[in-house]
Amino acid sequence: MTNLPPLATSPRGTMRLDNGTRVMLAASARENTIGLGVVAGPPSKVASHYQIDLLIDALEMARDLSGDPPETVKVMFSAASDDDRRCLILCVENTDTAMIVAPCRPAYRTDGDEEEEEHDNDERKESPRLKRYRYIGPEDRVSPCKWHLNPDAIDRYCREGICPGHIDGKCPLYGSGDDTGVFDFAKDFFEVVDDARVEEGDDD
Amino acid sequence: MTDNLRAPSPDAALSVYLDNGARVLIAVEHPVTLKDRIRVGVNEDDFPQHSGRYNLGQLVAALRYAQQLQGGGLNLRGEVTLCFGIRDEKGDRALAIRIGDSRTVLIVDPVVGGDE
């Protein structure tokens, strides 16, 4: 296990993606640099899918190039290709060098022989596999994880659309028994949610 | 955002066009991860408006969180969706890392001076 910054319990309210989709921020990490939340609504069209391993490899290559601190990278997308995928460009600070991560086609959106229709709008077509993994939330069927959410506050969380619910009968924020410390935050970060938008810089 | 701007398929591209039309020349494919398509390129022009600056360590940490969340409850083959948050008052954008096809999102705050 690597040294991960622990997620704290300070709520940060909400933020919005560039398509207006709201993300309920439930917790932020030390120094307010990493937040954890639940997105409610369609994904942004200016987005693409990537393998985590590839992203980490590329970032570590960029870190090797960046040398002394500050280790900062500029992140941007390429233009969309004909099949609506975008490369991710990681430009190393103060250089012209860029790491380019090719996108992947998400495995969970195709299922063997099934033909996925083009998703011209923001609503995705669901394959059986996607449906199985799909988030089950208040708009579908409320199934809060009572192991990790405050039972007294479940109604509120469901009403506000931030309850993670169950996926395949398990809490996506907990796991299936072989949990590690990283999941401990789940039982705390839903304690308080401030619905007001938090202005950046308040925590500096 | 230039929605009508199209780039060649990333599978075969020798250069990658950014959203503002600037070009990144692909210089080399990483020898270790060639099959995985990580490339090194040279950026020729200005950065697009649609971008953000982030601390490398924080990005890696966020992705490792995503890995662990997937390992615990979301068996989605280590995939994430990346997109930007809306610009804040200072012109910076948070980076949203959506884990697989769940609605769990990790947000990485930008460092100052993300855009322009």
Domain range summary for chain A, segments of one domain joined by +: 13-45+122-189, 52-107
DSSP state of A181: G
**Residues B98, B105: contact at Cβ < 8 Å?**
yes
Q: Write down the pLDDT at residue A170.
A: 45
Show the tokens assigned to A183: 């999941």
Most confident among A115-119, A123-127, B48-52 (mean pLDDT): B48-52
Q: Which of B11, B14, B16, B93 to mutate to test the interface with A (most CBs of A within 10 A)?
A: B16
Contact assignment for B7 to A88 by CB distance below 8 Å = no
Choose the closest CB to B109 out of A16, A32, A76: A32
pLDDT tops 50 at residue B93: yes
Of residues B66 and A179, which shows the higher confidence score? B66
pLDDT tops 70 at residue B67: yes
Show the tokens assigned to A6: 């622990």
Query: Chain B within 8 Å of A158 (Cβ-Cβ)?
Result: no
pLDDT tops 70 at residue A86: yes
**Residues B97, A165: contact at Cβ < 8 Å?**
no
pLDDT tops 60 at residue A200: no
**Residues A46, A18: contact at Cβ < 8 Å?**
yes
Residue in chain B lying closest to A24 (CA): B105
ipTM of the complex model: 0.81
**Residues B115, A60: contact at Cβ < 8 Å?**
no
pLDDT tops 60 at residue B9: no
Contact assignment for B69 to A62 by CB distance below 8 Å = no
Q: What is the pLDDT of residues A145-197, one digit of tens each?
A: 444 444 444 443 344 444 444 444 444 444 333 333 323 333 333 332 333 33
Mean pLDDT of A102-128: 48
Tell me the CB-side half-sphere exposure of residue A83, using CA atoms within 13 A: 13
Q: What is the pLDDT of residues A152-163, one digit of tens each?
A: 444 433 444 444
DSSP state of A123: S
Mean pLDDT of B30-48: 70
Of B48, B91, B104, B89, nearest in space to A89 by CA = B48
Show the tokens assigned to B18: 């950014």
What are the chain B neighbours of A30 within 8 Å (beta carbons)?
none
Residue in chain B lying closest to A18 (CA): B86
What are the chain A neighbours of B30 within 8 Å (beta carbons)?
57, 61
Of residues A11 and B92, which shows the higher confidence score? B92
Mean pLDDT of B22-30: 77
DSSP-H helix ranges across A84-201: 128-133, 154-160, 186-189
Show the tokens assigned to A128: 């059986």
Least Cα separation, residue B14 to chain A (angstroms): 11
Report pTM: 0.64
Residue B18's CB is within 10 A of a number of other CB atoms, namely 28
Q: How many CB pairs under 8 A join A and B?
A: 324
Percent of chain A whose pLDDT exceeds 90:
1
Q: Write down the pLDDT at residue B26.
A: 80
Pairing of strands A80-81, B6-7: parallel
For the ranges A50-59, A93-102, A190-199, B19-28, which has the lowest average pLDDT?
A: A190-199
Contact assignment for A175 to B92 by CB distance below 8 Å = no
